A and B are shown apart, each in its own frame.
Chain A
Amino acid sequence: NAGVTQTPKFQVLKTGQSMTLQCAQDMNHEYMSWYRQDPGMGLRLIHYSVGAGITDQGEVPNGYNVSRSTTEDFPLRLLSAAPSQTSVYFCASSLRGVDQPQHFGDGTRLSIL
């Protein structure tokens, strides 16, 4: 199993550009989530999904969209990138919900100029 795979690992964008961060898992996990990590802070939840076709907002959803068309994939879209979205983004998954071990991808380091 590859676990949770995030692509790309690094990305530089200009303000106003859009892009999609990819997240895929091959463990047949129901629950998937996106976090952002900023210096000196813990991880903050952006969006999460409890299964295909079901998504919900986390703590900091503004400026981000998600969809879950398959169990395996949970892409995160930045609609119009802003410097405040410069961060490291982590995708996580678990078999069912947050009361089980969360498996994290290796992260995407995103810089917005």
Chain B
Amino acid sequence: GIQVEQSPPDLILQEGANSTLRCNFSDSVNNLQWFHQNPWGQLINLFYIPSGTKQNGRLSATTVATERYSLLYISSSQTTDSGVYFCAVRVGGTSYGKLTFGQGTILTVHP
């Protein structure tokens, strides 16, 4: 099956710093999503981005499908950005198929 690898595994920042999280995948994908799991365990969908670039406030994401990676940018980080960031992909099939998740990047933002 497809391999989804995220880097770095852990990231520690001071409030106000910028960061880039990376998601590599081993096969062509039809769908890529980014999620944030907050320190209370809640999972929130950030982006649906099979290709191209999207921005939402201080967060933006870019997927280069031909080179099999996606990047999540966090600018001017805040303590509320702390948590685990996951990327997830769908390979082949229909949109009623399955999402495969990466192992996540643990982000800690200190005040």
A60 to chain B, nearest CB (A): 11
Chain B contributes a number of interface residues (CB within 8 A of A) equal to 26
Chain B residues closer than 8 Å to A88, beta-carbon distance: 41
For B42, give its contact among A40, A50, A104 (CB under 8 Å).
Answer: A104
- Asked whether any CB of chain A lies closer than 8 Å to the CB of B103, the reply is yes
Q: Which residues of B contact A (CB under 8 A)?
A: 1, 4, 30-31, 33, 35, 41-45, 48, 86, 88, 90, 94-104
25 sample A-B contacts, Cβ–Cβ < 8 Å, listed by A number: A31-B96, A33-B99, A35-B101, A40-B103, A42-B86, A43-B86, A45-B99, A59-B1, A88-B41, A96-B95, A97-B95, A97-B97, A98-B90, A99-B30, A99-B31, A99-B90, A100-B95, A101-B45, A101-B48, A102-B33, A102-B35, A103-B45, A104-B43, A104-B44, A106-B42
